[in-house]
Amino acid sequence: MCSQLGMKTLDDDLLRRIVEALERLAPPIGAAPDLNAADAFVWHPATGALQPVPKVSRVELALLQGIEQQKQILLENTRRFARGLPANNAMLWGARGMGKSSLVKAVHAAVNTEQAGALALIEIHREDIRTLPDLLNLLRPQPRRALILCDDLSFEREDADYKALKSVLDGGIEGRPDNVLFYATSNRRHLMPRDMIDNERATAISPGEATEEKVSLSDRFGLWLGFHNGTQEQFFAMVEGYAAAFALPVTTEALRAAAVEWSVTRGGRSGRVAWQFIQDFAGRLGVALTGR
């Protein structure tokens, strides 16, 4: 009997030490974040923490060419949100490399310049969308307003995370926090491939309802901003804007000729291609691109 009691005490002591060791290893989850620690953060759901980003990789708003209407709409929406006025969640969709995520970061910086420290920018990775409700609960009591950005958002077949996003956009029983706005970028207008929607239509008992369930996700964004492949003139405006901003010693004719050659080799005239061209061209000229 004594032997059994001794073994039980030993087992209890071992279990206690294991639990204490695990508690020491595990970081605290759900601790109140300090949104004044930086202007931008990355959400890490495993630890429930917001990692500050000391310097955001971004382009100045004035350098984003060929998307004037999208710039104005998103800027005004974000300004209203920063002032505590009603504003919409936004989805920026369309062609690759046309400045969707760059626009969000540039607008955030522009609004913070106008209203110092008004907004925190928080990036959530696509694979962490299911934890978005946890992030909202963390931000709900915060006095500072926050923009949540999910870059390159899309859903594949058998992916049920879109239901969590729908619930968040609808607000759920608590409603979306007044101090949070959600911006997403995607190459897909409806955030999911066409064959996924078609498959739902073909296999569902009520095909119309199944299709509506999928497509209605994008309808929950108050703003839809489309981005399309750039024209030749828009591409010239992009590279000329960069060349002027960085004071590249080149004539307009020479710059355009080199830009056309570059765009032909790359098979596109997007904002990303324009920036890649400027990096290459500046390197050939021996000019360092500073201030970005």
212-264 pLDDT tens trace: 555 566 678 889 999 988 899 999 999 999 999 999 999 999 999 999 999 99
Within-domain flag for 23: no
73: pLDDT strictly greater than 80: yes
244-257 pLDDT tens trace: 999 999 999 999 99
Within-domain flag for 20: no
pLDDT at 213: 52
Q: Compute CA distances 181 → 137, 155, 163, 235, whole Å.
A: 13, 21, 18, 31
Torsion sign across C-alpha atoms 163, 164, 165, 171: positive
186 and 68 belong to one structural domain: yes
Number of domains in the chain: 2
172 and 277 belong to one structural domain: no
Within-domain flag for 34: no
57 and 187 belong to one structural domain: yes
162 and 222 belong to one structural domain: yes
Range of the domain at 240: 232-285
154 and 241 belong to one structural domain: no
Q: In this structure, how many other beta carbons lie within 10 angstroms of the beta carbon of residue 90?
A: 24
177 and 251 belong to one structural domain: no
Q: By C-alpha distance, which of 145, 159, 168 is closest to 221?
A: 168
CA 249 to chain centre: 35
66 and 97 belong to one structural domain: yes
What values do phi and psi take at 88, rounded to 5? Answer: -105, 145
Within-domain flag for 218: yes
Report long-range pairs for 231-237 (Cβ below 8 Å, ≥24 apart): 231/66, 231/269, 232/260, 232/269, 234/65, 234/66, 234/269, 235/66, 235/259, 235/263, 235/269, 235/273, 235/274, 237/65, 237/66
117 and 250 belong to one structural domain: no
222 and 239 belong to one structural domain: no
